[in-house]
Amino acid sequence: MEKSELSYWMALAHLEGMRTKDKMEIVVQCFKHDRQLSDFFNASDELKEKEYHVTKDHIAKLKTCMPLVPNYSFMAENLLDQGYDIITVRDEEYPPALKKNLKYNSPLVIYTKGDKSLLQKQGVAVVGSRKAGPQALAFTTTVAAREASAGNVIVSGFAKGVDRQALDASLAANGYSIAVLPQGITTFTSGYKQLYKHIIDGHVLIMSYFMPMAGWSVGLAMARNAIVYALASKIFVAESDSKGGTWSGAIEGINRQRKNGDDISIYVRVPEEKEKNANRELIEAGAKPVNSQGDEIPRSEAVSNIEKITNAVIDLLKTHELRPQEVASYLKLDWSDDKVKRFLNSLSSKGVMKIKKGRYNVYTAMDNPGPSLF
């Protein structure tokens, strides 16, 4: 990619108020017409509309970023001078996994520091909570070291807990890792100090698709998770809560793979009985169960206890109308109220239904509501 073109790519990539897939359509049209992005930006409004199929609203929006092109040109020059790389979706170095998994929602531009060839290798992610328990961290170390030794690149979000454990285990096994940032590529100051040797040695690549000077934020961290999942051909979930980035990323990945007709490549550690997490719920949603060593096991071994609980709940609700906490009390389940509610709601296809009873919602089995306890 010519340096003079990078400013146009950055201007389009960071234009607010326009969906990524609409921006990508412009890129596709440029490719079809064998044009550069600068040709598109400098084309007349009429040509943009007729040849590139851009709406009038988007043409107006695009005009707002034209005055910023010189600023992006200066920014691109500075980044390149400092040893960063700017890779567009039309460059050969762009990771094929992102195109495959995200398609028109792939980032138009990514910024990297380190060995770009790692983007072409098969990636594996080990994901989980920042406050993961000892079982999850031991699992992370085992799986990350094994996958790194097999020549796969460990993809990490570089967060505390499972993310950082996966990266460290990969490096301890003399493997390679990609750290996907929840911030701009230039604001990772302390991280560069920690990973400097590994970046220089070619074992770590730092990557971001956000504005280069952007600071960390919760929103960017959530958006970053989608890139971690998309870069990996296999995702191992060490530990997940019932909400947050790990949960939403896994559910989104399972649904996307089902929609595309792909084999599910999301593997979830089967938790020990006393652990309080949502791992089993992910397995019920379609993820593949694995043992503490990361080896896939029969689904029947992972969900047998859940099936027993399911049958017990249905039998109970055939004769009672109960609130979630009462279900937990009857069956002596050491679950939170939220977990019981989610579980009961997941049984709607098995005849369990929620009804309003006075001030409360209660659950009953559809075929035989039974007498009320209230």
Does the pLDDT of residue 227 top 60, yes or no? yes
303 band by pLDDT with thresholds 50, 70 and 90? low
The whole-number pLDDT of residue 304 equals: 61
The whole-number pLDDT of residue 106 equals: 96
SS3 277: coil
Burial of 6 (0-12, 13-18, 19+ CB in 10 A): buried
Cα 99 from Cα 21, distance rounded (Å): 12
The whole-number pLDDT of residue 185 equals: 97
More confident call, 241 vs 89: 89
Answer yes or no: are the C-beta atoms of 176 and 154 closer than 8 Å: yes
The whole-number pLDDT of residue 357 equals: 86
Mean pLDDT, residues 181-201: 96
Written as six digits, the tokens of 75 are 């920014």
Mean pLDDT, residues 294-317: 83
- Calculated CA dihedral for residues 83, 214, 205, 193, nearest 10 degrees: 80
The whole-number pLDDT of residue 35 equals: 94
The whole-number pLDDT of residue 372 equals: 40
Residues 267-302: tens digit of each pLDDT: 999 998 778 888 988 998 889 999 999 999 988 777
Does the pLDDT of residue 222 top 80, yes or no? yes
Mean pLDDT, residues 26-32: 94
Written as six digits, the tokens of 149 are 């030794």
147 band by pLDDT with thresholds 50, 70 and 90? very high
Residues 5-14: tens digit of each pLDDT: 999 999 999 9
Work out the percent of the chain whose per-residue pLDDT is above 70: 97
The whole-number pLDDT of residue 263 equals: 86
Cα 14 from Cα 171, distance rounded (Å): 33
To the question of domain 116-297 being in CATH 3.60.150.10, the answer is no
Of the listed ranges 47-51, 109-113, 304-308, 314-318, the least confidently predicted one is 304-308
The whole-number pLDDT of residue 110 equals: 98
Mean pLDDT of the chain: 91
Rounded to the nearest 5 percent, the helix, strand and coil shares of the chain are 50, 15, 35
Does the pLDDT of residue 53 top 60, yes or no? yes
Tokens 């809560």 appear where? 241
Work out the percent of the chain whose per-residue pLDDT is above 90: 72
The whole-number pLDDT of residue 371 equals: 44
Mean pLDDT, residues 151-172: 95
Written as six digits, the tokens of 126 are 């080990």
Does the pLDDT of residue 99 top 90, yes or no? yes
Cα 182 from Cα 177, distance rounded (Å): 16
373 band by pLDDT with thresholds 50, 70 and 90? very low
Mean pLDDT, residues 166-188: 97
Tokens 């990524």 appear where? 20
Mean pLDDT, residues 102-109: 95
More confident call, 338 vs 26: 26
Mean pLDDT, residues 245-273: 88
CB-based contacts of 2, cutoff 8 Å, min separation 6: none
Give domain 302-365's CATH architecture. Orthogonal Bundle (1.10)
